[in-house]
Amino acid sequence: MQLLQGGKTMVGKIRLFPEELNTMSFEEKKLHKETLLRQSIQYMYENSPEYYQVRFKECGADPGDIRTIEDLRKLPIFMDKDRERQSMEESLEKYGHPFGLHLCCDPTDVVSTGGTSGTTGHPTYPYTQTKDDQAFTTEAVVFMHKLVGLGKGDRAFFLFPLGVYATSAILPGVEKAGILPLPLDIRLGPQPAFELVRWLKPTFWYTGAAIVEFYADLLKNKLNIDPKDLGFKCLLLTGEAGCGIPELKKKVEDAFGCRWYDWWGPSLLNLAISCNSDEYHGLHNFAEDWDITAEDLVDPATKEPIDVKDGAVGEIVGTHLRKKASPYLRYATGDIVEVFTSECPACGFTGYRVKPVGRSDDMITVKGVNVFAGAIHKTLQRFVPRVTGHMRVIKEDPSHRVTQLKLIIEYGQETRQDQLEELGKDIRQTMKMELRISPEFEWVKPESLERPLRKPILFENRYKK
């Protein structure tokens, strides 16, 4: 296996955290997690009378009924994003805090919180933690940095929307690892970012895929700066699909001359990172006894369980095993993933791996065929540089059902108007073979579409709300 030099450390196999999990067999890990599961469910039931006790009563179940992961999967979905918002609205009205009726600790025991962006409604605060929660996640973040060869003496260029956001929840772990965080709010624009990099010389970069692609193009094409000259050891990117798109991964890694690692922990679930490989083999769930996620997949439309086996695709349902503040029990995350149970062919990791496919709210049905906007975007990247890679799915009504799929696509800088018909045929043929869709195209000039620096925009709504 080809290894990349990460500072003074050769980066290799992804291991499990805590370390004792690495000596357990699959069956021993399962029994260990089921012990934590029984304790966690009892804790949630006893400490959430207005939420989890109500959910159990509604479905006619008792906490004592849940002994195994298989038992857990027989329960209905207890929470999703809409129920979470409602729970938080009610706790704010009744008790003056936004942590939800599913808060299982005293509100005064909350030591940190982080919220979602609120792009699809008001923000929620799933990154709420007690001292014990933060102690575990902090050590997990320290461990994650060690996996990619980062630690004491490194400096992290931390470019995100700052404030009470999800990404800020990782900062205590960054500091505990001996890394100097250099946070800058992305909303300030490129000039302050370049000044920070120039004077403080960060050794690696924390940000999102859309941001790093935007800055790579800006540096090279408009400012005449070689991104390699920034001297980053690696990129730690999160929040959106990207590393799983081979063309984009190669473009970014070639531009900066270092490895791109994907990491995530959506809603403080499924803490995971990709390994050091030219080919992307998914996010490796290294903190396996923090929660149950990859073992619990459902059909995103029906919420019926899906058999978890190598290559299974479904929506992750999360259940916390250790979390004390606002833990989840059978939470439908909306994240659609492909799960891998086999050993990672690059690094030998034997735990669960997942490849993000899309979001349940990004799914559209075209003449009976379910397809994710993210999958369309991923397929389009193969045609770069004939296209820029930027696109929108046109929605002419609020329904997720579409009779004729229409896409807005930016053609490439060197693509001529007389080449668009042939280009359209090639894209349509590929999408028909791989996604079973045959879209129509609306072509626009390069850089016509907005480049968001937070979440990518995949839809253009052309209807009145």
Structure tokens belonging to residue 113:
């919180």
Quickly state the pLDDT bin for 214 (edges 50, 70, 90). confident
270 exposure class (CB count in 10 Å sphere: 0-12, 13-18, 19+): buried
pLDDT beyond 90 at 394: yes
Q: Which of 18-27, 126-135, 432-441, 452-461 has the lowest mean pLDDT?
A: 452-461
Average pLDDT over all residues of the chain: 91
Give 8's pLDDT tier (boundaries 50, 70, 90): very low
Query: With bands split at pLDDT 50, 70 and 90, how would you rate the model's confidence at 13?
Result: confident
260 phi and psi angles, rounded to 5 deg? -100, 120
Residue 55: predicted pLDDT:
98
pLDDT score recorded for residue 374? 87
pLDDT tens figures, 317-363 = 999 999 999 999 999 999 999 999 999 999 999 999 999 988 888 88
- Give per-residue pLDDT as tens, 17-30: 999 999 999 999 99
Average pLDDT value for residue range 428-439: 94
CA distances from 372 to 107, 368, 427 (A): 39, 13, 16
In the numeric block, which tokens belong to residue 327? 């833990």
Query: What tokens does 140 get?
Result: 């997990």
pLDDT band at 258 (very low <50, low <70, confident <90, very high): very high
Mean pLDDT of 175-198: 90
Average pLDDT over residues 47-51: 98
Look at residue 119 in the predicted model and tell me its pLDDT. Answer: 56
The answer to whether residue 235 scores a pLDDT higher than 60 is yes
CA distance 339 to 226: 37
Cβ contact 69:319 at 8 Å:
no
What pLDDT digit, counting tens, does each position of 273-301 carry?
Answer: 999 999 999 999 999 999 999 999 999 98
CA neighbor of 326 nearest in space, from 87, 95, 163: 87
Q: What is the mean pLDDT of residues 389-415?
A: 92
Q: Which residue segments constitute the domains of the chain, with CATH numbers given?
A: 1-358 (3.40.50.12780), 367-461 (3.30.300.30)
Query: Confidence class of residue 463 from pLDDT cuts 50, 70 and 90?
Result: confident
Q: Is the pLDDT of residue 163 over 70?
A: no
| pLDDT of the residue at 50 | 98
User: Residue 189 — pLDDT band, cuts 50, 70, 90?
Assistant: confident
pLDDT digits (tens, 9 = 90+) for 80-139: 999 999 999 999 999 999 999 999 999 999 999 988 765 556 788 899 999 999 999 999
The token duo for 120 is 């699809």
Quick one: pLDDT at residue 311? 96
Using the structure block, give the residue that is written with the tokens 């001297």. 231
Cα angle: 336, vertex 458, 355; to 5 degrees: 25
Whole-number pLDDT of residue 454: 63
Cα 189 to chain centroid, rounded: 24
Work out the pLDDT band at 162, boundaries 50, 70, 90. Answer: low
Quick check: 14 pLDDT over 80? yes
d(CA 76, CA 73): 8
**Which residues fall within 8 angstroms of residue 210, CB to CB, at 6 or more apart?**
240, 242, 451, 452, 453, 454, 455, 456
Cβ neighbours of residue 36 closer than 8 Å, sequence gap 6 or more: 289, 321, 322
Residue 2: pLDDT above 90?
Answer: no
Would you place residue 190 in the very low, low, confident or very high pLDDT band (cuts 50, 70, 90)?
Answer: confident
Q: What is the DSSP letter of 455?
A: S
Q: To which residue do tokens 């000259």 refer?
A: 229
Q: What average pLDDT does this structure show over 413-418?
A: 95
The three state secondary structure string of 240-253 is CCCCCCHHHHHHHH
What percentage of the chain exceeds 70 in pLDDT? 94
Using the predicted structure, report yes or no on whether residue 433 has a pLDDT greater than 90: yes
pLDDT recorded at residue 6: 38
pLDDT tens-digit profile of 71-86?
999 999 999 999 999 9
In the predicted structure, residue 11 carries a pLDDT above the cut 60: no
pLDDT at residue 18, rounded to an integer: 95
